[in-house]
Structure 1
């Protein structure tokens, strides 16, 4: 059954949407967050990141992380969608075509007015998801595409500007988005909601280390995305 969403955020991992777009989600109740890499590996394993997050193995990690994501999004009144792909640490990266098709199906099923995608900074999973979404802009007419600056990678020197320059060279037009809610004017209650939602990702905060919540809380910035004619 087809639904209609005002806002759909594409999130590479189980925390990226809240870290990068938490205030925007708070201002748009009933938004959909489609997270791409939510499946455990085919065979169990233990990775450095999962151990830092406090897990014994990948099966335990992904089960707990999906639950954390559901709880965090409930706090922001957002609806989670978990796609069955595996992130890079599990050494089973999906083919770009498979990822694009899954995202196409999701957008057609929910027909959002606005689609928020990662700018695609630094991490291979983020770039893969960003590129898959970019390939859908032309055919998804009637949907406004915007890119968000990926937290925490947006703080890396020149990361944002280098990615924007790359996308412009590939024929995309990026304009700072003024039509989305200005996060600098959001109420204190919205900011508190975002902080509480970030805190729900307890395992990931553990992996990011001391003062993770403070370091991960960033001003949100968005870019309108179009394909040059």
Structure 2
């Protein structure tokens, strides 16, 4: 679809989080880049409960299928994928936040895009680490502020956004609300239809949820402004 806004550089913890959390934003900001942090393929063939629930025999099959799903989903949104090679926490211990921050910063710089959009960092360890790494960039002055999206599915947990705001304040990052329509990502019309098509492309992940379209993904996307104190 044709959009009316400048493209964004969107950071995604996993291969689906950006579309799940801000697919309408992507649909209204064509030529955006989605940089997925935990998109590496572990050595060997590992079996995990989540991959089995998604219908995979092993980690190699899982990641190769998920890369393809991600690229097809982003094509629906008019975006392109950048896959970093950090390993999902189901495969390996978490990397250092400084290493993740450096990799995100490098990919953002290479993209040439000004607007940085990051996960708020809710609940899941990979999401928390990605959010913390992005906050390190803020505190370093690269950039001084950015837009944060509420992580879909996890944002429904009572009090979790408030608790994250408190944690960020203790870490030296302010969090202020952004009007629902400030980014042109309205929950209706053509953008919502694009998001639905893109979400359904992640069919292996939806299989694990036992749901063709989890209800939270149809709710309005919510955004915040993060800035270093």
**Do both proteins adopt the same fold according to a TM-score greater than 0.5, normalized to the shorter chain?**
yes
Partners in 1 of 2:189 and 2:211 — Cα distance?
24
Q: Which residue of 2 aligns with 1:207?
A: 208
TM superposition shift of 1:48? 0.5
Q: Which residue of 2 aligns with 1:46?
A: 47
Q: Which residue of 2 aligns with 1:134?
A: 135
Partners in 2 of 1:156 and 1:105 — Cα distance?
33
Q: Which residue of 2 aligns with 1:173?
A: 174
Gapped runs of 5+ residues in structure 2? 1-5
3-state SS in 2 of match to 1:65: helix
Q: Report if the CA contact (8 A) 1:151-1:218 is conserved.
A: no
Are residues 219 and 187 of structure 1, via their aligned partners in 2, closer, same or farther at CA, if it must alter by over 3 Å? closer
Higher deviation after alignment, 170-179 or 27-36 = 170-179
Partners in 2 of 1:188 and 1:181 — Cα distance?
15
Q: Which residue of 2 aligns with 1:88?
A: 89
3-state SS in 2 of match to 1:146: strand
Higher deviation after alignment, 69-78 or 103-112 = 103-112
Partners in 2 of 1:7 and 1:209 — Cα distance?
31
CA RMSD across the alignment: 1.7
Q: Which residue of 2 aligns with 1:198?
A: 199
Q: TM-score, normalised by structure 2?
A: 0.91
TM superposition shift of 1:180? 3.1
Q: Report if the CA contact (8 A) 1:19-1:217 is conserved.
A: no
Higher deviation after alignment, 188-197 or 37-46 = 37-46
TM superposition shift of 1:210? 3.1
Higher deviation after alignment, 41-50 or 13-22 = 41-50
Q: Which residue of 1 aligns with 2:21?
A: 20
Q: TM-score, normalised by structure 1?
A: 0.91
3-state SS in 2 of match to 1:151: coil
| 1:9 aligned onto 2:7 | no
Q: Report if the CA contact (8 A) 2:119-2:131 is conserved.
A: yes
